[in-house]
């Protein structure tokens, strides 16, 4: 028996990386976990691994860049859940890694959809399961890029900065619904996203060598440790903490 018996948590970007480890940690603590990511064998595998711990957990495949898919996923969730006790908005996409004069407008817009607009849309349509008497904790996974501009990451930096502000807005409006919201930067973590960053061309990404160096110097943390560090914050943050931004390295 864990601390989260009877609670339902929705994790976006649950198929791999940080989201996979967060999902497993929540299942171990007794939560029912709803795993959201695009349809893939990785999502199936992570869902099976979570269900081996928390059998009443399930996946809702969804592309956060597609509004109709968000509506559909939310309907599935609302049909199953009267109340959601926590959301970890963890899904993220680093594309496009391009100087802003070269970036395709559609790719740039899609980054906004996946990294921030989809977060608002999904939360809004899940309103009926969030606005009851019960306590709700929402955690958004931010980035150092929300505070620091990086060449060729204009879409990602802008989206993560927007996500931080969205979290503060939710904290503001959430008080009357017993909802708290925090954002947290996870540090540099050894996941597929870092592989993508290191795979960018020098031409597109002048800072590429820095990220290769972080990897070679062993500076990346592993997603399991990050999930363990995030766990107390995402499951127990307080009204006093609501609206604040954290860095996992300070937790
Ligand atoms: P991964 O690439 O390993 O995982 C990203 C997750 O987001 C996957 O589950 C992926 O699912 C999901 N995702 C991506 N695009 C979509 C989409 N369109 N619709 C639904 N789900 C999507 O990266 P991390 O685990 O590293 O990233 C987790 C979070 O941490 C992100 O928000 C990222 O920005 C943030 N972060 C990561 C850092 C790092 O160093 N790794 C540093 C700072 C922040 P799938 O592709 O299967 O659909």
Atom of ligand 1 nearest to the CA of 65: 18
Distance 101 CA to ligand 1 centre (A): 25
- Return the pLDDT at 78: 98
Nearest CA among 2, 18, 82 for reference residue 221: 18
**Run means of pLDDT, 10 residues per run, the chain, 251 residues:** 89 98 98 98 98 98 98 98 98 98 98 98 98 96 98 98 98 97 98 98 96 98 98 97 97 90
CATH number at residue 115: 3.40.50.720
Residue with CA closest to ligand 1 atom 12:
13
- Return the pLDDT at 2: 65
* Domain count across the chain: 1
Q: Which pTM does this prediction carry?
A: 0.98
Could you tell me where the beta strands, DSSP code E, fall in 127-249?
Answer: 136-141, 179-185, 245-247
- Tell me, yes or no, whether 200 lies in a domain: no
Q: Is the distance from CB of 9 to CB of 81 less than 8 angstroms?
A: no
- Tell me, yes or no, whether 130 lies in a domain: yes
Q: What are the tens digits of pLDDT across the range 168-190?
A: 999 999 999 999 999 999 999 99
- Return the pLDDT at 96: 98
The whole-chain average pLDDT of the chain stands at 97
Residue 9 is a catalytic residue: no
- Tell me, yes or no, whether 249 lies in a domain: no
Atom of ligand 1 nearest to the CA of 142: 44
Could you list the residue range(s) of the whole structural domain that residue 40 is in?
8-187+231-239
Distance 229 CA to ligand 1 centre (A): 18
Could you tell me where the beta strands, DSSP code E, fall in 8-125?
Answer: 8-12, 32-37, 58-61, 86-89
């Amino acid at each position: 028996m864990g601390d989260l018996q009877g609670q339902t948590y929705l994790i976006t970007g649950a198929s791999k990386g940080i989201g996979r480890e967060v999902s497993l940690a929540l299942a171990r603590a007794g939560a029912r976990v709803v795993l959201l990511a695009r349809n893939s064998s990785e999502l199936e595998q992570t869902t099976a691994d979570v269900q081996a711990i928390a059998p009443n957990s399930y996946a809702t495949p969804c592309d956060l860049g597609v509004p109709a898919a968000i509506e559909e996923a939310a309907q599935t969730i609302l049909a199953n859940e009267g109340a959601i006790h926590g959301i970890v908005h963890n899904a993220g996409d680093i594309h496009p890694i391009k100087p802003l004069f070269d970036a395709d407008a559609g790719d740039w817009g899609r980054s906004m959809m996946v990294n921030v607009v989809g977060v608002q849309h999904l939360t809004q349509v899940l309103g009926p399961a969030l606005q009851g008497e019960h306590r709700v904790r929402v955690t958004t996974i931010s980035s150092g890029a929300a505070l620091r501009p990086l060449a060729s990451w204009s879409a990602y930096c802008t989206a993560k900065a927007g996500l931080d502000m969205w979290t503060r807005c939710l904290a503001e409006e959430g008080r009357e619904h017993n909802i708290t919201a925090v954002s947290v930067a996870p540090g540099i973590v050894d996941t597929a996203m870092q592989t993508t960053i290191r795979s960018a061309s020098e031409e597109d990404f002048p800072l590429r060598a820095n990220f290769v160096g972080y990897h070679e110097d062993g500076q990346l943390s592993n997603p399991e440790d990050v999930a363990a560090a995030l766990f107390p914050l995402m499951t127990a943050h307080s009204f006093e903490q609501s609206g604040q931004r954290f860095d996992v390295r300070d937790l």
